[in-house]
Structure 1
Amino acid sequence: MNTERYQRQTILKGFGHAGQQKLTSAKVLVVGAGGLGAPVLSYLNAMGVGTLGIVDNDTVSLSNLHRQVLYTEKMIGLPKVVAAKSQLQAQNSNTNIKLYQTFLSISNALDILESYDIVVDATDNFPTRYLINDACVLLNKPFIYGALHGFEGQVSVFNYQNGPTYRCLFPKMPSADAIPNCNEHGVLGILPGIVGNLQALETIKVVTGIGDVLSGTLLLFDGLSQRTQRMKFSLNPDNKEIRSLATSYDFDCDVQFKTIEAIGVKRLMVDGTIELLDVRTLEEFQELHLQGATHIPLNELEKRAGELRRESPVYVICQSGIRSRKAILTLQKLFPESEFIQVIGGMNKIDSYANTY
């Protein structure tokens, strides 16, 4: 341990060299290297956490940079795990950084989480959060939760010292229609930094044993008023009785349809042989779209669905994938005999590739 590097921490009463040694020995997994993951990784790395695991299967895009301050313009198109490791190693060469360039899934979650002490949820979707929760309950590991919406954020710690789990606060996954997302409603660039830093702080507290951990407490942060609220919640013992992962953590898991990667649909559009439906807002469509796409905003889809030719499979795209799934569920009810294919990752993925047009 480099005593000079961490001197300003080790002279803190109640932290000291013992706290620093605990950080050095700690193994923390961060799921998601985006808006929340960037500040979490930066500060845990700077403060001396010995081993950091990073799970992410996305690439750096220009639209990330207003909030994901770990990355630079030169990194656009690079896998986030690769770009993150480069930056983190330059910041602290002593950290053992392990990369998992993949989505966390039922097939790999338990294997990946098993070797870590703490899991930080820096994702942006409900299915992954429920998967993380259940895996952490099975493996008896705490996880640090953070979430964003507009000008607001949430932080809590689940499954800590037999405390409440994520399912104690949110027993059932909401429907896809009930979920707002930053691609539709936006997020102020600085907010992920604030919430991510609060997650990093809770991680440090769990590792070292200092302070009061947000177990059984949901911290609500309003960026516009600089106000915080605390909401208490209790353990439901039934939520500790998980014996295996669920068979699916997807929305409407009983409804199945085909998917295609963004780069694949882009290549097909060049040939001009497919029908592509873009269900984003008019403003999003005007800012960037694939030439030849049919534009029908999601909120107008039911009354305008007849504009689709449907002579061949219809490929459906949005910004990230949430609205395209909602659109396909709507279209399948209207046209059960037609085929609809979701573009995975949406325009976020298209934007990661150079020369979109």
Structure 2
Amino acid sequence: MPLAAEQAGGLPALTDDDRRRYARQTILPGVGEAGQRRLRAARVLVIGAGGLGSPVIEYLAAAGVGVLGIVDDDVVEESNLQRQIVHGVDTLGLPKVDSAAQAVARINPTVRVEPYPVRLTADNAVDLFTRYDLIIDGADNFATRYLVADAAELTGRPVVWGSILRFDGQASVFWPGHGPTYRDVFPEPPEPGAVPSCTVGGVFGVLPGMIGTVMAGEAVKLVTGVGEPLLGRLLVLDAARGVWRTLAVSVDPDRRPVERLADDYEVVCGTPGGAQGAAVTVERLAGMLAERDAGRRALTVVDVREPAEHAAGHIPGAVNVPLSGVLDGSAALPAGPLALVCRTGVRSARALEALRARGRADALQVIGGTLAWARRIDPTLTVV
């Protein structure tokens, strides 16, 4: 059953140019002109214009999807170019949504791009999702993944999901009411630090292409109705060994349905060890620092990155205590409340765990680290 429920007669007609462009696609059994017209009518929202979003955006543009919404609040950096193929040296420094829109225009100018250079949040997710037929989750963090899952459940939207790290990748289709959702398969986020980000753990450069093209294929299948989507199945890739596996997944009958979005998914997914109040957002940290500067609070920001990283750019007033010294107890830490920060939050979560084990109940972790601070508080901050 195609995602677009309209009959072919109610869908936009193909032009002669369309018939020439999509000739190799429309001759496929089960696609035909009706399938191509469904693609032309489809509105697809892509979360993230990074590693996974790159091949998804390019292939959906080439396939002739009518409207591509792209959500990403980041800019193109040189370290992205190893795997985020929708961007190039000519778009360094541009917002990723603008860089991706330029690529779509080169591939297929008939596709309309709706760029959203913002962060997906609990405030905008439901509104955005209701504007589109299908959601592509190419996010690189658990907070966004759970937000996507919950907003999709509230709006009834199907989600094509993918995840990558090092040499491993996964892909599936989650559709509330038609099969399992992300929360059926992954009920709770992992402990902070248990799964490193690609920034810390690395990623095989071609892996996003391998998983991202699978995701693009699932989107085309859902829109046209051709083939069998990965609904109820989890595709797992070990790229180092060249092994693909398919695991069956199902709806959890005991899971409580999502009734509302959480207020802050970064806190929900980033509180180390489940310690209440142990994690703060960069916005909250900025407020705490203002209170400190006004003499109403004691607080020291401790940057647990390496000295070269700290020297390149850090939150104002942060003292540098590398993670190794925190973990082995050799570092002399300031007395009083501490706010631990690193680049993304992975290392600070490890530092917090070590300090809490030693009884430092006055330590906090800054979710998203200096990277979040640069994106949402001080765009002039240099982060390496």
Shorter-chain TM range is 0.7 to 0.9
Further displaced range: 172-181 or 231-240: 231-240
The 1-side partners of 2:177 and 2:186 are apart by 19
Following TM superposition, the consecutive aligned residue runs of length 4 or more in structure 1 with deviations greater than 4 angstroms are 256-261, 274-278, 285-289, 313-317, 328-342, 346-350, 352-357
The 2-side partners of 1:239 and 1:338 are apart by 34
Secondary structure of the 1:3 match is helix
CA displacement at 1:90 relative to structure 2: 2.2
Using the aligned pairs only, state the percent identity: 37
TM-score by length of 1: 0.84
Give 5+ residue unaligned stretches, structure 1: 265-273
Confirm or deny: 8 A CA contact 1:77 1:353 kept in the other structure. Answer: no
The equivalent residue for 2:347 is 323
- Cα gap change, 1:223/1:348 in structure 2, threshold over 3 Å: closer, same or farther? farther
Match of 2:304 among 250, 274, 279: 279
The equivalent residue for 2:322 is 296
The equivalent residue for 1:167 is 183
Secondary structure of the 1:45 match is helix
Secondary structure of the 1:156 match is strand
Confirm or deny: 8 A CA contact 2:169 2:237 kept in the other structure. Answer: yes
CA displacement at 1:93 relative to structure 2: 1.2
CA displacement at 1:355 relative to structure 2: 7.8
Deviations 1:103-131 (A, max 9, x none): 11111110111111110110011121111
The equivalent residue for 1:180 is 196
The 2-side partners of 1:356 and 1:232 are apart by 41
Structure 1 letter corresponding to 2:191: S
The 2-side partners of 1:353 and 1:69 are apart by 26
CA displacement at 1:277 relative to structure 2: 4.4
Give 5+ residue unaligned stretches, structure 2: 1-13, 287-298
Q: CA RMSD in A?
A: 3.1
Confirm or deny: 8 A CA contact 1:310 1:338 kept in the other structure. Answer: no
- Cα gap change, 1:176/1:233 in structure 2, threshold over 3 Å: closer, same or farther? same
CA displacement at 1:19 relative to structure 2: 1.1
Deviations 1:246-298 (A, max 9, x none): 3342322842655558xx9xxxxxxxxx9874434x6xx6689527973513x
The equivalent residue for 2:4 is none
Question: Equivalences for 1:73-112 in 2 at 5 Å?
Answer: 73-112=89-128
Further displaced range: 208-217 or 232-241: 232-241
The equivalent residue for 1:35 is 51
Confirm or deny: 8 A CA contact 2:75 2:94 kept in the other structure. Answer: yes
Further displaced range: 199-208 or 96-105: 96-105
Secondary structure of the 2:38 match is helix
The 2-side partners of 1:92 and 1:101 are apart by 21
- Cα gap change, 1:324/1:346 in structure 2, threshold over 3 Å: closer, same or farther? farther
Question: Equivalences for 1:100-139 in 2 at 5 Å?
Answer: 100-139=116-155
CA displacement at 1:213 relative to structure 2: 0.7
The 2-side partners of 1:355 and 1:238 are apart by 46
